[in-house]
């Protein structure tokens, strides 16, 4: 609990990002923010609220509606010594910039034989659950995670949002930074004097002994809720927040599966060719003799995102996670 002498404060995930961006702007004059409506408006989700007012329109820059141009400009700025942070307003808008990201941002360091770095952060609000229209609720993370040269991370809570955005900006590698838009308003206690958890590391967020749930971004909270519900029925579920999708930090997952014998991967993206498939393959290879059941995957069907009035039927929820747990125990 916060009190008058404590340095901790109650913040939302969106506020955590705002505070992290503010601190990065204060610490390094080479940090620039770029995106559509991020200045005077403060962003669609108000993540950049107040930053242009305090740091000026030469460091918090409103751009035209041209995602390819925004990322292409960021490439030039990075080559000139800046650390641009690009906001893609919604997940489905990133595709016009896809060519710049996978052919320029991802490959520049290798193309230059390591002689240049590409310290760009590309922030992407992702996932559904807010009743938005087409192109506003997608989960494109696998496209970027399979692209060599990119780092890809996903924050799931306010404290991680605060620290991870600063760590991403400080990185000399390009980072695609996914933000779960339906969790922007979730709150937690932040201690800004604490030692941050490493950026490219997964984390056990609830310990358990009977089965392991692996998730990232918005589904971490769903898995924690599922674990709480399962506990009432006598099942102990361990929950792991991947946090980093490329590189994948699976050592905590291997250790968990060797303890529990069962694994369920959970994400909003389609099960087909999703991140859960890579986790399942790796765990099957490394932990085959520890598994009591096949690795099961929970995710969306392989169809375009539906109209918002039926998105709750499309998105994984607590019941679908618990159903997968039941199936894992049925073997």
| CA separation for the pair 260, 311 (Å, rounded) | 32
Select from 277, 267, 279 the least CA-distant residue to 222: 267
Of 102, 128, 103, nearest in space to 246 by CA: 102
- First-to-last C-alpha distance (Å) of the chain: 44
- What stretches of the chain show up as alpha helix (H) in DSSP? 13-27, 51-55, 67-79, 98-99, 108-111, 141-145, 158-170, 219-232, 251-260, 275-287, 311-314, 318-330
CA dist., res. 144 & res. 246, Å (int): 9
Q: Where are the alpha helices (DSSP H) in 37-104?
A: 51-55, 67-79, 98-99
Of 12, 305, 51, which Cα lies nearest the Cα of 184?
12
CA separation for the pair 226, 320 (Å, rounded)? 9
DSSP for 261-328, written as a single string: S-EEEEEEEESTTSHHHHHHHHHHHHHGGG-SS--EEEEE-SSPPPPGGGHHHHS--HHHHHHHHHHH
Q: For residue 191, which of 153, 158, 155, 240 has the smallest C-alpha distance? A: 158
Catalytic annotation on 136? yes
pLDDT at residue 3, rounded to an integer: 47
DSSP structure class, residue 200: T
What Cα–Cα distance (Å) separates residue 127 from each residue in 215, 299, 305?
A: 13, 12, 10
DSSP state of 186: -
The pLDDT profile of the chain, 331 residues, written as one tens digit per residue, is 444 456 899 999 999 999 999 999 999 999 999 999 999 999 999 999 999 999 999 999 999 999 999 999 999 999 999 999 999 999 999 999 999 999 999 999 999 999 999 999 999 999 999 999 889 999 999 999 999 999 999 999 999 999 999 999 999 999 999 999 999 999 999 999 999 999 999 999 999 999 999 999 999 999 999 999 999 999 999 999 999 999 999 999 999 999 999 999 999 999 999 999 999 999 999 999 999 999 999 999 999 999 999 999 999 999 999 999 999 999 9
Helix (H, G, I), strand (E, B) or coil at 85: strand
Choose the catalytic residue: 135, 136, 267, 302: 136
Residue 154's pLDDT is 98
* Cα torsion through 202, 312, 135, 270, rounded to 10: 50
pLDDT value of position 7: 82
Q: Are strands 211-215 and 237-241 parallel, antiparallel or unpaired?
A: parallel
CA–CA gap between residue 113 and residue 191 (Å, rounded): 40
Q: Please give the Cα distance from 63 to 36 (Å, whole number).
A: 5
């Amino acid at each position: 609990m916060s009190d008058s002498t404590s340095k901790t404060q109650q913040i939302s995930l969106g506020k955590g990002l705002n505070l992290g961006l503010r601190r990065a702007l204060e610490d390094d004059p080479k940090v620039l923010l770029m995106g559509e409506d991020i200045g005077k408006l403060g962003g669609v989700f108000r993540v950049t609220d107040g930053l242009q007012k305090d740091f000026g329109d030469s460091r918090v820059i409103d751009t035209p509606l041209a995602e390819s141009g925004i990322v292409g400009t960021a490439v030039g700025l990075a080559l000139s010594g800046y650390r641009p942070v690009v906001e893609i307003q919604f997940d489905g808008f990133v595709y016009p910039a896809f060519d710049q990201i996978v052919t320029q941002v991802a490959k520049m360091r290798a193309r230059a034989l390591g002689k240049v770095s590409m310290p760009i952060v590309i922030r992407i609000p992702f996932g559904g659950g807010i009743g938005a229209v087409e192109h506003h609720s997608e989960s494109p993370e696998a496209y970027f995670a399979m692209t060599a040269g990119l780092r890809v991370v996903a924050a799931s809570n306010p404290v991680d949002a605060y620290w991870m955005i600063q760590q991403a900006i400080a990185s000399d590698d390009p980072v695609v930074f996914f933000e779960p838009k339906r969790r922007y308003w979730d709150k937690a206690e932040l201690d800004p004097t604490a030692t941050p958890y490493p950026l490219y590391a997964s984390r056990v967020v609830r310990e358990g002994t009977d089965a392991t749930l692996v998730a990232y971004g918005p589904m971490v909270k769903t898995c924690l809720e599922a674990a709480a519900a399962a506990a009432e029925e006598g099942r102990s579920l361990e929950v792991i927040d991947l946090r980093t999708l490329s590189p994948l930090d699976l050592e905590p997952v291997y250790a968990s599966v060797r303890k529990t014998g069962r694994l369920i991967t959970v994400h909003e993206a389609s099960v087909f060719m999703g991140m859960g498939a890579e986790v399942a393959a790796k765990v099957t290879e490394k932990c085959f003799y520890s598994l009591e059941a096949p690795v099961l995957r929970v995710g969306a069907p392989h169809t375009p995102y539906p109209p918002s009035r039926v998105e709750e039927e499309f998105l994984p929820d607590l019941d679908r996670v618990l159903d997968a747990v039941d199936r894992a125990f049925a073997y």
